[in-house]
Amino acid sequence: MHVLKGIKNVLMWFEHRLVLRETFWPIVRHPVPRSLRRKVGWMYVLGSTAMTLLFLQVATGIALSMVYVPSAGEAYESLNYLNFQVPLGWLLRAIHNWSATMMLIVVVLHMTQVFLAGAYKYPRELTWMLGVVLFFCTVGMAFTGQVLRWDADSYWGLGVGAAMIGRIPYIGPALVDLMMGGPMVGGETLSRFFALHVYIIPGILFAALGAHLYLVVRKGISEPPEVGNEVDPETYEEEYEKLIADGEGDPFFPGPMARDAFFIGFTLLFVLAIAVVFGPDGPGLSPDPANVAVEPVPDWYFLSLFAVLALSPRSLETYIILIGPIIVVGVLFMLPIFAGRGERHPFRRPVAVLSVVFIFLALSVLTWLGVTEPWSPHMNAWTGDAVPVNIVKRLSPTEMQGAVVLQLKACRNCHALDGIGGKRGPDLTHVGSRLDRPALVRQVVQGGGNMPAYGKQLTGAQITALVDFLHACRPENRPPAVVPTPGDGVEGPGKLSRAGP
């Protein structure tokens, strides 16, 4: 009894100074609509789950930062040190990685749920907007986080990111400079991304989270939507007050909170389980041009984004890069301004439901395309992928030297022969039946369409041999291509006979 009394005295000493019972207690006891007791209440657990995953990220992230060295020379080694020497260091990395993935998924689900339930409508517009900020912070954390792995994958992702930003008119190059610490990915880049990942974005994130939570508590948790119950700013608050009035609402703690806690515990266990089973991601080989055997792939959540860029025609790419983000951010941000009132129930909002379906379908298709898309050049095709034997057997001595030039200049890293090799450019097995000599020379010398120009890197004899070889790349017994030279002004079949081997 003495002991208990002592503890109580100590607690009261603190309570007297902190006055938590007056400040904190009402917050956890804030009333929520009784209708949340129904099964639909399970829909409301996602926000707090995302927040808990964030805390898990902070905890594991701090632990990681005790070992990780954010310098280009040492990052790879320090991650391997975590993987192989620090007791359970690998598990720490695995949890940080999988819980980041999970957090991104939960945040997206939370947004979808809020959107479908119309919970972003009056008077919770600002809560939604802050949520959008939180979403982009999460994406930013995911991107900067994979950069810190500093292996070929992250290096590659950065290269694409830098190219995108560099195309913004006027300020693009300066922005790249700021982000990368120079015009290219370099030694300073890693320090910049470390600062972003550890100080800057988390700072914004926690500020936004604080405001988001303040609004959630102040404006109350939205009641589950009912068909035909329209949001009208004139009357909404009055009606909501009635829902949570004494005796009508439930205090958040312990009832509804238990549901959150249960789901959170389940999610954490799930994250732990996949971390134990699948382990950490990488680090892959360091981004060193001498490591020819690597085939970089961006993390899966960015595949859809990269797929858009890879699949869009080059002429549109710049517009997509510039205008796309403005539209996406703008629409997300301004959504509650345009659609801040009216029906909340999804049954009465077919456009909203259909757009969710459409967005998820589009993202899945793009991700799938991203998975199958041949991302990067095959770095070692030039020395490793043999010229197919049936082609070699047909070649003259000059054409054989042309084949060596094709290998030596690493054209194979982007171009396949008989399906083997890089897939950035078209397969060249039958290019001789598609293009005539002048067109081949033009393509090699001037490049174009995502292919570099080789004019300055090749001697005249090398171009001759190379073009001879490409010209010979056609099915046996198939005559060489007779392609009209563009711009000669002659219409009709007559001009076909002009160009030739």
Partner 1 sequence: MNKTARNDRLLWLAWALGITCLAIPLSGCGSATGSDNEQRVRFDDWMPGKPRESERERPYAYQLNAEKIFATSCSGCHGDDGRLGPAPPLNDPLFLAIYSPDQMLAVLAGGRSDGLMPAFNAGHVGGLTEQQRGILVKSIWERWGGASDLPANIPPYLQQATGEAAAGKVIFAAACSRCHGEDGKGRAAGALNERGFLALVSDQLLRRIMITGRPDLGCPDFVQSGSESSLKRPLTGADIANLVALMSAWRSGEEKALVDGP
DSSP per position, 10-40:
HHHHHHHHH-HHHHHHHHHT-EE-GGGGSGG
Closer residue to partner 1, CB minimum distance, 90 or 206: 90
Q: Which of 135, 193, 252, 382 binds partner 1 (CB under 8 A)?
A: 382
Per the CB < 8 A criterion, the answer to whether 190 and 71 are in contact is: yes
Indicate the helix (H) or strand (E) that contains 416.
strand 416-417
Closest approach, Cβ 309 to ligand HEC, in A, equals 14
Cα 501 to Cα 393, 439, 447, 478: the distances in Å are: 21, 11, 21, 13
- Decide if residue 191 touches ligand HEC (CB under 6 A): no
- Decide if residue 495 touches ligand HEC (CB under 6 A): no
Q: How many residues bind ligand HEC, per CB under 6 A?
A: 33
For the window 384-413, what string marks contact with partner 1 as x by the rule CB under 8 A? xxxx-x--xx-xxxxxxxxxxx-xx---x-
Site for ligand HEC in 370-429 (CB under 6 A): 377, 383, 396-397, 400, 404, 406-411, 413-415, 424-426, 428
Closest approach, Cβ 300 to ligand HEC, in A, equals 24
Closest approach, Cβ 443 to ligand HEC, in A, equals 4
For the window 285-324, what string marks contact with partner 1 as x by the rule CB under 8 A? xx-xxxxxx-------------------------------
Which listed option, ligand HEC, partner 1, none, makes contact with residue 451 (CB within 5 to 8 Å by class)?
A: ligand HEC
Which listed option, partner 1, ligand HEC, none, makes contact with residue 462 (CB within 5 to 8 Å by class)?
A: partner 1
Closest approach, Cβ 296 to partner 1, in A, equals 12
Site for partner 1 in 456-475 (CB under 8 A): 459-462, 464-465, 468
Closer residue to partner 1, CB minimum distance, 3 or 389: 389
Q: Which of 443, 465, 472, 474 binds ligand HEC (CB under 6 A)?
A: 443
Site for partner 1 in 7-66 (CB under 8 A): 52, 56, 59-60, 63, 66
Structure token digits, residue 100: 């980041």
Long-range contacts of 387-394 (CB under 8 A, 24+ apart): 387/417, 388/417, 388/418, 388/420, 388/429, 390/418, 391/417, 391/418, 391/429, 391/472, 391/473, 394/472, 394/476
Site for partner 1 in 251-270 (CB under 8 A): 254-255, 257-259, 261-262, 264-266, 268-269
* Coil/strand/helix, residue 324: helix
Which listed option, partner 1, ligand HEC, none, makes contact with residue 365 (CB within 5 to 8 Å by class)?
A: none
Structure token digits, residue 494: 């007559």
For the window 67-106, what string marks contact with partner 1 as x by the rule CB under 8 A? -------------xx-xxxxxxxxxx-xx-----------
Which listed option, ligand HEC, partner 1, none, makes contact with residue 389 (CB within 5 to 8 Å by class)?
A: partner 1
Per the CB < 8 A criterion, the answer to whether 197 and 207 are in contact is: no
Residue 346, preceding peptide bond in cis (omega within 30° of 0): no
**According to the 3-state scheme, what is the secondary structure of 236-281?**
HHHHHHHHHCCCCCEECCCHHHHHHHHHHHHHHHHHHHHHHHHCCC
CA distance 415 to 435: 15
Q: How many residues bind partner 1, per CB under 8 A?
A: 83
Which listed option, partner 1, ligand HEC, none, makes contact with residue 415 (CB within 5 to 8 Å by class)?
A: ligand HEC
* Coil/strand/helix, residue 110: helix
CA angle in degrees (0–180, nearest 5) for 438-444-446:
90
Closer residue to partner 1, CB minimum distance, 422 or 484: 422
Closer residue to ligand HEC, CB minimum distance, 177 or 418: 418
- Decide if residue 292 touches ligand HEC (CB under 6 A): no
Site for ligand HEC in 53-92 (CB under 6 A): none
DSSP per position, 164-227:
HHHTSTTTHHHHHHHHHTSSSS-HHHHHHHHHIIIIIHHHHHHHHHHHHHHHHHHH-PPPPP-T
Per the CB < 8 A criterion, the answer to whether 466 and 399 are in contact is: no
Exposed/middle/buried for residue 81 (C-beta within 10 Å: 0-12, 13-18, 19+): middle
Question: Helices 125-148 & 152-166, crossing angle to 10 degrees?
Answer: 130
Radius of gyration, alpha carbons of the chain:
30
Closest approach, Cβ 157 to partner 1, in A, equals 18
Per the CB < 8 A criterion, the answer to whether 180 and 192 are in contact is: yes
Kindly list the residues in this chain that would bind ligand HEC in the complex (CB under 6 A): 377, 383, 396-397, 400, 404, 406-411, 413-415, 424-426, 428, 431, 434-435, 440, 443-444, 448-452, 454, 466, 470
